[in-house]
Amino acid sequence: MPGKLKVKIVAGRHLPVMDRASDLTDAFVEVKFGNTTFKTDVYPKSLNPQWNSEWFKFEVDDEELQDEPLQITVLDHDTYSANDAIGKVYIDIDPLLYSEAATVISGWFPIYDTIHGIRGEINVVVKVDLFNDLNRFRQSSCGVKFFCTTSIPKCYRAVVIHGFVEELVVNEDPEYQWIDRIRTPRASNEARQRLISLMSGELQRKIGLKVLEMRGNAVVGYLQCFDLEGESGLVVRAIGTACTLDKLSSTSAFLPACNSPSKEMKEIPFNEDPNPNTHSSGPSTPLKNQTYSFSPSKSYSRQSSSSDTDLSLTPKTGMGSGSAGKEGGPFKALLRQQTQSALEQREFPFFTLTSFPPGFLVHVGGVVSARSVKLLDRIHNPDEPETRDAWWAEIRQEIKSHAKALGCHAVVGYSESTSICEEVCILSASGTAAVLNPRFLQDGTMEGCLDQRIEETSPAGCGFCHIPYDELNMPFPAHLTYCYNCRKQKVPDVLFTTIDLPVEAMVIGKGCLIQARLCRLKKKAQAEANATVISNLLPFMEYEVHTQLMNKLKLRGMNALFGLRIQISVGENMLVGLASATGVYLTALPTPGGIQIAGKTPNDGTYEQHISHMQKKINDTIAKNKEIYEINPPEIPEEIIGSPIPEPRQRSKLLRSQSESSDEVTELDLSHGKKDAFVLEIDDTDAMEDVHSLLTDAPPPPGFYSCNTEIMPGINNWTPEIQMFTSVRVSRLSNITLTNQMLNKNFNDLCENLLKSLYFKLRSMIPCCLCHVNFTVALPEDELIQVAVTAVAITFDKNQALQTSKVPAEKSLQRASTDNEEQLQFPLELCSDPLASQPFSPAKEVLESASSHTGIPAAQRVASLDKASPLAEGHARHRSVPCSTNSTVTVVKMTPLSFIPGAKITKYLGIINMFFIRETTSLREEGGVSGFLHAFIAEVFAMVRAHVAALGGNAVVSYIMKQCVFMENPNKNQAQCLVNREGPTEEESTDTCKGRKECETGDGETEVRRD
């Protein structure tokens, strides 16, 4: 019995009128935890009751503490009839179980009712006394920290990254139990809310146990999902990355020794390129113009499993990159061996993280993904969720083998998702195959800050682009060239990844959001037949999505995608695919060629004219895009190009950095002009449409940028104004005779218009960037497409940005200098930029680049964060609107990112987990479906903020909206809404704590009256 939970009910305010006669309420409160319930006295005739109760004490074990939510019910006392419920508050007490997080939860919570929404507020104080328990066989995992952030949280240092943890729990959905027919909607909703809260608590505890088993102390990149499988049950599953984290208490925590020259010296010889000779071939190899068609870069493998109900389809996508294999020389082989051994012990060498400490990623192979179509059956025994476990294990196995095929031992940026329609379910997993630095993966191999050193197997900033697979034995045909940065190793022509842009990556210009959108009609079918139809369609969907992405990438003159996320949703009569990614121009990869259009019937004059007209339009678009995104790769002066490879390359590292300027340029390829133009064949009207649709994507209006990654490449002078938002649209496809083309156009318009609306809405924030733009598509009913977007708009300082872009000649110089300032503000995210500017940097900068080259330890960068914080704050103050302090409501900032510009995370308060269901019987009064959902989402935001404020936090980071489905049934006069979110919390430098939050939202039922 190692814990005592204490709860005090202080007061209520703004309660609803429950007694029509007196226009007042006789309120009292029930406090329930587990099976114990306490009650306050009735506070008669008041809408602002002051209970000031005694401390209610619950003596419970810590397993229960982790699983159960504290349940507070506010009721109206009625002498003659049953007491009426006003509403409830569920408080997750998990944040109180960490030693270093919040010690008390105290504040105003909105009282929530599943029928009426928020009805007043209640002031509650919650405390937990934990007794130490040394029982080795305990079932609880108190103390394991959870972070939704997909990077190492800001005020921590990763000592060891242990790897993948996963768990799932299943249960029957109360909505489908027989009892649901006889109980009230409110009771049913509450049963569901409570069950899901319990299940996620249990899930978190079980994952925590696994982490403890691995000797970790935290889960980073924690991703929890709900599959509402309808009749067959309710699945709550989660994946994450187990880590051992160390708190960075202050600047002094960094060992000064780690920067000591002696250590550096030891490392340097090791870092020296071991096999200089291999490079001789590099510059001399002519890179031929090639017409490259994209199709072969993917391969589909189909598995037909023995079971009939088990239709499994797993297209694999591998986007190549990298060099190595034979070329890498002995060091690489050694590295590979180490990594292999470190990773092979694991069943799944997966990492849910999307950004890593510098040096962690050695090479990136490309995107790997797997999908599988399953038929759902009833979960018979909730304690044995083996079927679901087996399904996921199968998919993960597949991912692992794809990664192997790319010469990689690990998968990073890994995520899993499902799409369910009736009894068919598509399970998807995707990630980025990568070769990792083994030092982070093993216990005890890291000391001091050795772990944070950049592994200098290749120059920082391009190493991750080098292909990890064997050039002669490539898993798919790809077009390799020598790295444009180091000239030593091979790189692919494009790189697709699911991770964030690595901090050390060198980019030119800005990035942009690129989306591929696709609809496919599907015959209505039942069960197995349906699954077969879907399986047959999937490869074509994947192929087309990929084609679109590739075309759009080229159209923007870019050569790499980050944060790629492909979502395929299944509906009754169609499939929808939506891929979002952030395109960038990586300096290490070749300049993309243009797109060329080839007609099938070249002799027709007018046709040819048409074709050339289109070609011109495309070329113009590319030119315009290059301007918009400031993509202007450096022109190389002729004389330097002609000169032979200079000796310095083979000299030791220390010298290298000084000879950089002459070194880098020598091997640049002459043929970057029209090389390997992408050819689009226009052989029928479909293809024509495709080309047209390519050109319909409007660039964001001036002053706006957008990306779906954490930060926007090329923008680093953020100002502290942020606005997180959720926008939902449901579109009805009115035409009965739907064609694929019409569907595509409609879907495309839906997304484009949504984006346009967002830009318009946020126009007062210009210049600003929409970051972490996250689209979710669902097909709630026939002919309905629902798109939900959650993103954050962050303003940035235009002047600095302009200065950076204005004078291309001095660009690198200016950039470096602005970046230095910036580095003070956001060193961790932005330290890529000093590196990025380095290859072009003139002699002036040698000092700087030298230091970064010899491997600036990450610790140093972090240190600069602390030093810089006053500056950042000053900047923040300068721009932010003065906030009056007399307001009683704490301002809580929310963001899907892992940081808040201009603020420093001082403390993580933990995950908050919530699930809401909402239903109404007065849809008209609430303003129709839009009004209903609008109010509901606003309520959810409000409840998230209230929980954060009660924990003493003032911000939420890594907020994710994972699911948002709104269903409406006019025949039954019902509408249903389901939203699912999560995110952690943080706060600004002035206060002392930060929290994390994960919140899951609801599901509402609405009565719709139509005349």
Partner 1 sequence: MTNDLDIFVGNTTLIDEEVYQLWLDGYSVSEAVSQRLRAGALEQPGAGPGAGPGAVLHSDTLDHYRTCHMLERLLHAPPKLAHQLLFQIPPERQAGLIQRYYAFDEPFVRELLGKKLSKGTKKDLDDVSAKTGITLKSCRRQFDNFKRVFKAVEELRGPLVDNIQQHFLLPDRLARDYAAIVFFANSRFETGKKKLQYLSFRDFAACAQHLIQHWTLGAVDSHVDDMDVDLDKEFLQELKELKVLVADKDLLDQHKSLVCTALRGKISVYNEMETNFKNLSRGLVNIACKLTHAKDLRDFFVDLVEKFIEPCKADRWPPSDMRLFLTQYTGSAHALDAFRHQALWDRYMNTVTACLLQMYHD
Please give the residue ranges that form the binding site for partner 1 (CB under 8 A).
13-14, 108, 110, 118, 121, 698, 700-704, 723-734, 746, 749-750, 753, 756-764, 766, 784, 786, 881, 883-884, 886-889, 891-894, 927, 929-931, 933-935, 937-939, 941-943, 945-946, 966, 968
Which residue lies nearer to partner 1 by CB, 435 or 578? 578
**Least CB distance to partner 1 at residue 285 (A):** 44
- Looking at residue 50, what DSSP letter applies? B
Q: Tokens for 284, please give them.
A: 């001399």
Using alpha carbons, select from 961, 978, 1007, 963 the residue that is nearest to residue 916: 978
| Contact criterion met (CB below 8 Å) for 493 and 589 | yes
Mutual orientation of helices 685-696 and 605-628 as an angle, nearest 10°? 30
Which residue lies nearer to partner 1 by CB, 788 or 863? 788
Which residue lies nearer to partner 1 by CB, 916 or 966? 966
**Least CB distance to partner 1 at residue 89 (A):** 12
Using alpha carbons, select from 535, 527, 528, 540 the residue that is nearest to residue 302: 535
| Contact criterion met (CB below 8 Å) for 770 and 791 | yes
Which residue lies nearer to partner 1 by CB, 496 or 959? 959
**Least CB distance to partner 1 at residue 701 (A):** 3
Instruction: Return the exposure string of 358-381: e unless at least 16 CB atoms fall within 10 Å of the residue's CB, then b.
Output: bbbbbbbbbbbbbbbbbbbeebee
> What are phi and psi for residue 429, nearest 5 degrees?
-140, 145
Mutual orientation of helices 740-761 and 685-696 as an angle, nearest 10°? 0
Gap between the Cα atoms of 474 and 476, Å rounded: 5
Residue the block writes with tokens 């200089």: 276
CA distances from 586 to 201, 561, 581, 633 (A): 42, 10, 15, 10
Which residue lies nearer to partner 1 by CB, 630 or 749? 749
**Least CB distance to partner 1 at residue 623 (A):** 16
**Least CB distance to partner 1 at residue 732 (A):** 5
**Least CB distance to partner 1 at residue 748 (A):** 11
**Least CB distance to partner 1 at residue 85 (A):** 20
Which residue lies nearer to partner 1 by CB, 13 or 77? 13
Which residue lies nearer to partner 1 by CB, 249 or 885? 885
| Contact criterion met (CB below 8 Å) for 456 and 653 | yes
Residue the block writes with tokens 């020794």: 257
Which residue lies nearer to partner 1 by CB, 329 or 931? 931
Which residue lies nearer to partner 1 by CB, 403 or 946? 946
How many CB atoms within 10 Å of residue 180? 16
Which residue lies nearer to partner 1 by CB, 80 or 760? 760
**Least CB distance to partner 1 at residue 941 (A):** 6
Beta strands in 779-823 (DSSP E): 784-796
36-39: strand order across its sheet: 36-39, 27-33, 70-76, 84-91, 104-113, 117-130, 3-13, 56-60
* H or E segment and range at residue 464: none
| Contact criterion met (CB below 8 Å) for 967 and 941 | no
Gap between the Cα atoms of 374 and 527, Å rounded: 10
CA 938: distance to chain centroid? 22
Contacts of 616 (CB under 8 A, 6+ apart): none
Pairing of strands 56-60, 70-76: unpaired
**Least CB distance to partner 1 at residue 627 (A):** 15
**Least CB distance to partner 1 at residue 940 (A):** 9
| Contact criterion met (CB below 8 Å) for 112 and 118 | yes
**Total count of residues recorded for the chain:** 1011
**Least CB distance to partner 1 at residue 736 (A):** 13
Which residue lies nearer to partner 1 by CB, 262 or 888? 888
**Least CB distance to partner 1 at residue 976 (A):** 13
**Least CB distance to partner 1 at residue 984 (A):** 15
How many CB atoms within 10 Å of residue 442? 16
Contacts of 849 (CB under 8 A, 6+ apart): 657, 660, 834, 835, 838, 841
Which residue lies nearer to partner 1 by CB, 584 or 940? 940
Which residue lies nearer to partner 1 by CB, 367 or 937? 937
